[in-house]
Chain A
């Protein structure tokens, strides 16, 4: 159980890292229009990612 003495502090660091990642996502505007994201899958035009995979 000694590993917990490492893992618990590590999890604190991880929380801060995730919060920084979230801040980056927020600042790049990914959460500005949440309502729309759920319906993106229903749209006709393929996303760039899908188009790349289809070409392969």
Chain B
């Protein structure tokens, strides 16, 4: 049976992530409430607007439910999802605080600064195509965090145990390696 993997679907690129999961043989489950966290093996926090997502998380007790879930399950946070995962956010805003990094919102600029870049990565298979859209920057990497890809010597893909954080949009890339890495982690269990 296909692995059931959640995608937070308050708002944002959840359809693109769901399509990518399907392509890789997993079964995407759209998550809008705490009850929907039952019976999934991991979750993707997609890109979108972190301010919008936070309003929903705070109101629906999802913040606590996601924190509890992430203690025991793999999580992939991309762009706004990375901001939700980060321990520290600039300018200051609430977050799950699980991934030991500092993140600066919109650090790579507005839409006119959005770009598709081939960057170096520790993942096997050569340079990684990375789609940056009004992207946040990882400004500080704390203990226990491994850098898996960089843009101009700045970390853009990081891993801390079963948590993956990504400043770009793997769901919009032709490269499927980030999702594969996430699914492999889930297959192993934590």
A and B form one complex: no
